Chains A and B, each alone.
Chain A
Amino acid sequence: MFFFFYTDCPLERLALVDFRTKQGLECLEKAIRFADQLHVVDTTGIEPMDSVLEDRALYLREDTAVDGGCAEELLKLSRKTVEEYFVVPPGNIPLPKKEERSSMLKHSEL
């Protein structure tokens, strides 16, 4: 199977799989072929399972306040805080560029 990837596909940038090397693509192909075995099973008229809890009833909680009030504890977890606010870089952190990704994935087995 061959895959065509747009050079700026957001999903590609989000993924932890390396699409650029032949090895990465082969690995992906193998994974998809493995998953294709699902098609062998006849699933007509059967709802897909989306939760292992499907036999359980969804628990409904009473509307009384029992949580919160732990600002100090939570703020301790953040590297940088200002007056009880969490501090983050401005705007949104952009996805890593292609060059940056290669160094991120250097040590991965994929």
Chain B
Amino acid sequence: MAASRVTANEIFLNIKQIPTRYPKALCLFRQISTSRPHYDQQPEPKSKSASQPLVGVVGLEIHAQINSNTKLFSGSPVRFSAPPNSLVSFFDASLPGTLPMLNRRCVEAAVMTGLALNCTINKKSYFDRKHYFYADLPAGYQITQQRRPIAVDGVLTYSYFGGKKRSQMIRKSVQIKQIQLEQDSGKSLHDDDRSQTLIDLNRAGVGLMELVMEPDMKSGEEAAAAVRELQLILQALGTCQGNMSEGQLRVDANVSVHRPGEPLGIRTEVKNINSIRYLARAIDYEILRQIDAVQSGRAVQNETRAYDSKSGETVPMREKEGLQDYRFMPEPNLPALIVYEDNASLPTGIDPSQAVVVQKIKDRLPELPGVKRDRLVQTYGILPEHSFTLVNEDGLMEYFETLMKTTQREPRKVIGWVTNELLGHLKQRDMSVSQSPISPAHLAELLKLQETGRISSSAAKQVFQEMWRSGGKTAWQIVQEQELGLVHDSAQLHSICQKVVDSHPDEVHAVRNGNKKVLNKLIGLVQKETKGRADPVLVKEILQQMTQ
């Protein structure tokens, strides 16, 4: 088990890094018994009377396609869809006599990503060959950075809504072992009918950043939140467009189960995950499947499984080639990659186009999501939970900021409309912010009507619904059409109140005798008459006067 043995060793060496926390969401796992934890004892044989519940251990391997014009080692264009094999150079097709030419943009992208994830940038990094046979890898090897990658030892902090009511924001972090530059392979289309496979090499040679994360995560929810945060960071940097469905961000999950304090269990690799939602489901399914296997006394096999989105299950994948010996060797055609700390450390006479300077890239880093969230909290005084939602949903922050420009209301009063009403409606219909039928300007108008007392809060919600349905009608139009405006006319209200008072002498008597609660009943009756459109403050005043 050459390849898997190596990585299993790495995991065993990292045991001391695995925190012995207990999962809060115990409802997911069947609890066997709840006796005290036994940190200092020898690991127990897995019997049904073991004291601690099995927990999941999740490590992610992420391949992010670098957002560049050309490929990593050749000048072929990078494009999502194009006629088959039209974006392939002689080098990509691995014709003899061709040599790799490293793309400067890819190096800068890797350095930028490493800096954003708090990594140490290796000033000197090497390229290696990883050999395996597959038709979509024409050279028979992939150029990667196994020995000494460009960035190591980073950390990714992420948050998600957890706790009992999913209202608590939980902050976590995951260690990034390394970031390495490597080539992508081509695409194979399996034609089972004619028993053949079709190969398109357009993707072969595209630059990838492989991010290896330590197995610090415990559940699908954590993994999904971490990947979402990574997606936001990569998109903010512009180093990767992060679209999982288009294969720009590929996530493989390594899942195992164990009891805290004990050695890690056998892990399986889960592939074929095309969205963040599926990632969470696939991991949770796999954890439960493994727990079930262990509890039933069956062994978990070290295998590769694919996620089937239709059934929601992971299934064993057809084996590519059993056990692999990758025969790693240094790439003889490429000398070491050197990046420089700052301008001062540049050798004299060097061509600037040949020097990647870390300090310059650091200075050019754009505003990262974490900083954005803090800025929103500072500028608008909203809660961290709110700013998290704003940054997490594509376009929602821009919507909110546009809205704040046109409304005079306090941000704290406005935020609820954006994160609850608007987002709620969008989520229900699986729509994005850009598809919202209510523009920030229209929503601002609605809020103004509410603020100036033209409509009540409950009427405002009604108007919102109607604005959504009608798609384009302004708030004022709807208020007029449906006569939802608050009635302030004191003469009109006076006459209605008088009617109610005259027809309910017993209640009036009770109020006069000191029973103030009955006043609410009278107010209710007035509201019924006016279909809820009476200004509640005025009504109360008038009734109080009348019942003195």
> Cα distance A65–B348 when bound, in Å?
30
CB of B104 closer than 8 Å to a CB of A: yes
Query: With the chains together, A18 CA to B21 CA distance in Å?
Result: 53
Q: Let me know if B356 is at the binding interface, CB within 8 A.
A: yes
Residues of chain A with a CB closer than 8 A to B322's CB: 10
Q: Does A38 contact B (CB under 8 A)?
A: no
CB of A51 to closest CB in B, whole Å: 5
Instruction: Please give the distance in Å from A13's CB to the nearest CB on chain B.
Output: 10
Please report the C-alpha to C-alpha distance between residue A105 and residue B74 in the assembled complex, in whole angstroms. Answer: 37
CB-contacts of B252-305 with A (<8 A): none
B323 interface neighbour in A10, A58, A86, Cβ under 8 Å: A10
A51 and B333 contacting across the interface, CB-CB below 8 Å: yes
CB atoms of A88 and B89 under 8 A apart: no
Contacts of B336 in A (CB 8 A): 51, 54, 58
Closest to B192 in A: A90
Are A58 and B337 within 8 A (Cβ)? yes
Contact status of A68 and B87, CB under 8 A, knowing A57-B354, A87-B196 = yes
Report how far A68 CA is from B87 CA in the complex, Å. Answer: 5
Complex Cα distance, B68 from A66, in Å, reads: 14
Contact between A10 and B325, CB atoms less than 8 A apart: yes
Q: Is the CB of A50 within 8 A of B198?
A: no
Cross-chain contact of A51 among B101, B334, B354 (Cβ < 8 A): B334
The residue that A10 contacts in the complex, of B103, B200, B324, with Cβ under 8 A, is: B324
Find A60's partner among B85, B86, B104, B332 (CB 8 Å cutoff). B104
Please, how many angstroms separate the alpha-carbon atoms of A84 and B197 in the complex? 13
Is the pair B105, A65 in contact by a Cβ cutoff of 8 Å?
Answer: no
Per-residue CB contact flags for chain B residues 132-148 toward chain A (1 = under 8 Å, else 0) read 01110000000000000
Q: For B188, what are the chain A residues with a Cβ–Cβ distance below 8 Å?
A: 88
Q: Is B77 an interface residue (CB 8 A)?
A: yes
B139 nearest CB across to chain A (Å): 14
A70 at the interface (CB under 8 A from B): yes
Chain A nearest CB, measured from B3 CB (Å): 10
If A53-B334, A67-B76, A69-B86 touch, whether A60 touches B356 (CB-CB below 8 Å) is yes
Q: How far is the CA of A68 from the CA of B90 in the complex (A)?
A: 8
Cβ contact of A91, chosen from B91, B95, B197, cutoff 8 A: B197
B78-133 residues at the A interface, CB under 8 angstroms: 83-93, 95, 101-107, 126, 133
A74 close to B196 (CB less than 8 A): no
A51 touches B335 (CB 8 A): yes
Q: Name the 5 nearest CB pairs between A and B, nearest first.
A: A50-B330, A67-B89, A85-B198, A63-B105, A60-B104
22 sample A-B contacts, Cβ–Cβ < 8 Å, listed by A number: A10-B323, A51-B331, A51-B335, A56-B335, A59-B101, A61-B75, A61-B104, A63-B103, A64-B70, A65-B70, A69-B87, A71-B83, A74-B85, A82-B198, A84-B83, A87-B196, A88-B197, A90-B191, A90-B197, A91-B197, A91-B320, A95-B321
